[in-house]
């Protein structure tokens, strides 16, 4: 498998939970979500894909949205974590730590060869 495809696959599975986790602190608009992800390095490649992602999470009930006025310019759609979104983040967090620890352990032990 080309390493490129590998990174894409890894990203796909986790990015929506990263976004949900970011919304735990405070409601954000799309541009802010992208801005934060931009500072986190390798997670986001095509910034525009955040919008269909946010839209899907809204349809799935993980986030709720509201329009807020901005001092200059058009109102912005803010995304806020819903209750089921909070549950999803908590579940992912547990699962992720277990998963990460297992992978780390295998790599520490030299590819599983003790």
Partner 1 sequence: MTAVRASQLIDAYLRRLEKELADLPTAKRHEIVDEIRSHIAGERSAMVDETDANLMNLLDRLGDPAEIAAEARSGAERRRPAPGFRRFGTLEVLALALMLLAWPVGVILLWASRAWTTREKVLGSVLPPGGYPGAFLVMSTFHWFVSMADSGPKWGQITVGAVLFTVSLLLLTAPIGMCVYLATRMRVPSQQQGDVRGSSRW
Tell me the three state secondary structure of residue 77. strand
Residue 18 CA to residue 54 CA, distance in Å, equals 12
- By CB under 8 A, tell whether 5 contacts partner 1: no
Closest CA to 42 of 22, 18, 23, 25: 18
The answer to whether 16 and 53 have CB atoms below 8 angstroms apart is: yes
Kindly state whether residue 1 participates in binding partner 1, applying the rule CB under 8 A: no
| Residue 59 lies near partner 1 (rule: CB under 8 A) | yes
CA distance 62 to 109: 38
**What are the CB-based long-range contacts (under 8 Å, 24+) for 68-72?**
68/29
Using the contact rule CB under 8 A, the part of the chain among 17-25, 47-55, 81-89, 105-113 near partner 1 is 47-55
Q: Does 40 bind partner 1 (CB under 8 A)?
A: no
Is residue 64 part of the contact set for partner 1 (CB under 8 A)?
A: no
Determine, following the binding rule CB under 8 A, whether residue 95 of this chain makes contact with partner 1: no
With contacts defined by CB under 8 A, name the span among 43-51, 84-92, 93-101, 106-114 that binds partner 1: 43-51
Query: Contact positions toward partner 1, by CB under 8 A?
Result: 30-31, 34, 45-49, 51-56, 59-60, 72-74, 76-77
């Amino acid at each position: 498998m080309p390493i490129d495809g590998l990174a894409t696959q890894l990203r796909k599975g986790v990015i929506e939970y990263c976004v949900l986790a970011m919304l735990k602190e405070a409601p954000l608009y799309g541009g802010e979500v992208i801005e934060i992800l931009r500072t986190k390095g390798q997670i986001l490649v095509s910034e525009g894909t955040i919008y269909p992602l946010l839209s899907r999470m809204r349809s799935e009930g993980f986030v709720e949205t509201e329009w807020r006025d901005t001092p200059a310019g058009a109102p912005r759609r803010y995304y806020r974590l819903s209750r089921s979104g909070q549950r999803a983040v908590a579940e992912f967090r547990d699962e992720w730590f277990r998963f990460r620890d297992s992978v780390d352990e295998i790599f520490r032990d030299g590819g599983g060869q003790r």
